[in-house]
Amino acid sequence: MTEIQTTVDTWIKQHGVRYFNELTNMALLTEEVGELARIMARTYGEQSFKESDKNRDPADEMADVLFVLICMANQTGVNLDAALKKNLEKKTARDSERHKQNEKLK
């Protein structure tokens, strides 16, 4: 993740001039998640495709979400490697047996 954060930072400095402010990036993240949700709902859910959605690629939409999230991490000083490791430790401590015992998942 550190390499990816550096790659995005380099791209922003070379092509994007500067980062959008944190609030703008939060709004952009929400927008990108909404676009991904729309494609997922039409691909895997019960909604039919609109003509404008037919050529949308879920992988591209996921990459858009990831890009903005990485921008937010970079501009707020979050090390995503460390954050993910800490988050997985939390989930393991909290949920290591819970999901195995969930009858809905069997």
Q: Decide if 56 contacts 62 (C-beta within 8 A).
A: no
Cα–Cα distance, 64 to 22 (Å, whole number): 16
pLDDT of the chain along its 106 residues, tens only?
999 999 999 999 999 989 999 999 999 999 999 999 999 999 999 988 888 877 889 999 999 999 999 999 999 999 999 999 999 999 999 988 888 888 888 8
Q: Give the pair of three-digit tokens for residue 45.
A: 């859910």
Q: Which residues contact 69 (CB under 8 A, 6 or more apart)?
A: 29
Residue ranges of domains in the chain, CATH in brackets: 2-79 (1.10.287.1080)
Q: Give the pair of three-digit tokens for residue 49.
A: 């495709």
Give the pTM. Answer: 0.88
